[in-house]
């Protein structure tokens, strides 16, 4: 069989009509800036914050220009100071080390294990002398959060979560992003809600949120936020926090609000596709799909698998052959960083990056595929067949 798959892997669903109608209304009014509101009026950005805080069961939420800016602001607002050591799993995306560097902090990279999550033993070993953990649930893989909390408590480490791929996900019934002092989310086009660019930060901490709001660029207009701590909290700090100008605007918030109402349903749709693909891929000789922990409620908006023991030239041939038939896979093991994939060796703005043999070995054979909701189960079936054909043709078993 030589059928070719011809749908793009980067095509998301359209913005729904209610979002478009609201966006048009805002465009016609010219009132795009979040603080461009009449007295007593609550703008779209503030409403989105209220609704996302409620969805997360958190007291406060701040919308930002991106998840990267939300993480940077969360780290600063939590108290990360220049020179501090921030632990972080080595398998993550470039905006994560970027947020740490932006704070002037040092990064301590932690190994990963076969299921792509952080190596908890390596974390425990490196925890001494660290005050902070920026845990990235990279590609939606959630580690054992019970052990994370044990390690953080034992070493007095403050946890901040990067939930760019775990919006809507949970561990043992508790929402991802609600374990740490702050959780950060992305609304960039390829994440779980789409406003082109955008970020959300949630916390229950009064001072953290007051600082975060001012850092984000509220000027002295923070009273117009409605998912915020009492005004007295701002009074104490309002002259002590700089403005990093990283706000979200009303236009983006307006198209996100209807998406939030559908988020859980979208997550269910992702998992139909993910579970179908994971089951099929797992049966292909030479392909390893790690089991998910039963406590993990993941959102399968992308899928990762390993071509265990295959040499680089075979993996390259496998990827090229899949691509010839329209199946676009990313490879975390390529020597040059390509597209969005990012290996920790590329972050050379940090001095003395370590060598992490286990992470290197795992990334060397790891493939990655987006699962846009514009694909249906028939599409997934064709993709599986193409990968299966290619594997039997190319892989050395
Ligand atoms: C996309 C992504 C980010 C950054 O999100 P932006 O909104 O683009 O800044 C951070 N972490 C992970 C794991 C991501 O996939």
Q: How far away, in angstroms, is 196 Cα from ligand 1 center? A: 12
Average pLDDT (202-214) is 98
In angstroms, rounded to a whole number, what is the distance separating the alpha carbons of residues 128 and 123? Answer: 9
Per-residue pLDDT tens over the stretch 78-104: 999 999 999 999 999 999 999 999 999
Vertex 354 angle, CA 353 and 357, to 5°: 140
Q: What is the pLDDT of residue 92?
A: 96
Is-contact 217 244, C-beta < 8 A?
Answer: yes
Read off the tokens for 216.
């984000």
Q: Which two tokens stand for residue 264?
A: 């859980």
Q: In DSSP terms, which residues pair with 185 in a beta bridge? A: 200
Distance 191 CA to ligand 1 centre (A): 8
| Mean pLDDT to the nearest integer, 343-369 | 94
SS3 189: coil
Average pLDDT score over the chain:
96
Residue linked to tokens 């052990």: 147
Distance (Å, rounded) from C-alpha 224 to C-alpha 244? 18
Residue 125 has pLDDT above 90, yes or no: yes
* Residue 295 scores a pLDDT above 70: yes
On the question of pLDDT at 343 being above 90, the answer is no
| Six token digits for residue 184 | 């950060």
Inform me whether the pLDDT recorded for 151 exceeds 70.
yes
pLDDT at 1: 58
pLDDT at residue 341 tops 80: no
| Residue from 93, 142, 193 to probe ligand 1 pocket by mutation (most atoms less than 8 Å from CB) | 93
Give the other-Cβ count within 10 Å of 2's Cβ: 7
Banded pLDDT at 340 (limits 50, 70, 90): low
Ligand 1 environment, Cβ below 6 A = 66-68, 92-93, 95-96, 136, 138, 162, 164-165, 186, 188, 199
pLDDT attached to residue 78: 98
* Cα 390 from Cα 315, distance rounded (Å): 11
Domains of the chain as residue ranges with CATH: 17-261 (3.40.640.10), 263-394 (3.90.1150.10)
Q: Which of 186, 193, 247 to mutate to test the pocket of ligand 1 (most atoms within 8 A of CB)?
A: 186
pLDDT value of position 318: 98
What pLDDT score does 337 carry? 73
- C-alpha neighbours within 13 Å on the C-beta side of residue 338: 11
* pLDDT tens-digit readout, 3-62: 999 999 999 999 999 999 999 999 999 999 999 999 999 999 999 999 999 999 999 999
CA distance 134 to 370: 24
Question: Which of 69, 139, 184, 188 to mutate to test ligand 1, by most ligand atoms within 8 A of the CB atom?
Answer: 188
Q: What is the CA radius of gyration of the chain?
A: 21
The CA 187 to ligand 1 mean position distance, Å, reads 9
Which residue CA neighbors atom 5 of ligand 1 most closely? 67
Share of the chain above pLDDT 70, in %: 99
Q: Which two tokens stand for residue 117?
A: 């999550």
Angle of helix 206-216 versus helix 67-78 axis, rounded to 10: 130
The DSSP bridge partners found for residue 302 are 370
Q: In the prediction, which pLDDT does 164 show? A: 98
> Could you tell me the distance, in angstroms and rounded to a whole number, from the CA of residue 28 to the centre of ligand 1?
31
DSSP 177: T
Quick one: pLDDT band at residue 366, thresholds 50, 70, 90? very high
Residue 194 CA, ligand 1 centroid: distance in Å: 12
Q: Which tokens is 178 given?
A: 């609600």
Question: 232-285, pLDDT tens digit by residue?
Answer: 999 999 999 999 999 999 999 999 999 999 999 999 999 999 999 999 999 999
């Amino acid at each position: 069989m030589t059928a070719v798959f011809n749908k793009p892997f980067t095509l998301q669903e359209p913005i729904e009509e209610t979002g478009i109608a609201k966006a048009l209304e805002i465009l016609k009014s010219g009132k795009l800036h979040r603080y461009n509101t009449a007295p007593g009026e609550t703008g779209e950005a503030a409403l989105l914050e209220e609704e996302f805080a409620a969805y997360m069961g958190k007291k406060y939420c701040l919308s930002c220009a991106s998840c990267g800016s939300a993480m940077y602001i969360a780290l600063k607002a939590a108290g990360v100071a220049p020179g501090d050591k921030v632990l972080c799993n080595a398998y993550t995306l470039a905006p994560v080390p970027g947020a740490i560097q932006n704070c002037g902090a040092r990064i301590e990279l932690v190994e990963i294990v076969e299921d792509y999550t952080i190596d908890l033993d390596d974390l425990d070993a490196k925890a001494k002398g660290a005050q902070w953990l920026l845990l990235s649930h990279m590609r939606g893989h959630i580690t054992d959060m019970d052990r994370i909390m044990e390690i953080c408590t034992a070493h007095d480490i403050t946890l901040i979560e990067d939930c760019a791929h775990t919006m809507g996900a949970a561990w043992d019934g508790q929402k991802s992003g609600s374990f740490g002092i702050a959780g950060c989310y992305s609304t960039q086009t390829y994440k779980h809600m789409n406003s082109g660019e955008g970020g959300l930060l949630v916390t229950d901490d009064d001072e953290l949120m007051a600082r975060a709001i001012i850092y984000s660029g509220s000027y002295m207009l923070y009273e117009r936020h409605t998912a915020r701590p009492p005004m007295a909290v701002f009074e104490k700090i309002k002259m002590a926090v700089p403005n990093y100008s990283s706000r979200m605007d009303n236009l983006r918030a307006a198209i996100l609000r209807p998406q939030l109402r559908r988020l859980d349903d979208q997550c269910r749709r992702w998992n139909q596709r993910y579970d179908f693909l994971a089951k099929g891929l797992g049966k292909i000789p030479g392909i390893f799909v790690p089991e998910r922990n039963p406590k993990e409620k993941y959102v399968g908006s992308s899928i990762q698998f390993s071509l265990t023991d295959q040499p680089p030239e075979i993996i390259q041939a496998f990827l090229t052959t899949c691509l010839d038939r329209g199946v676009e896979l990313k490879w975390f093991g390529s020597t040059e960083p390509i597209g969005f994939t990012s290996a920790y060796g590329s972050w050379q703005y940090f001095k003395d990056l370590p060598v992490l043999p286990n992470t290197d070995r795992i990334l060397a054979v790891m493939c990655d595929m987006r699962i846009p909701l514009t694909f249906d189960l028939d599409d997934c079936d064709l993709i599986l067949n193409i990968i299966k054909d290619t594997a039997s043709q190319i892989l050395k078993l």
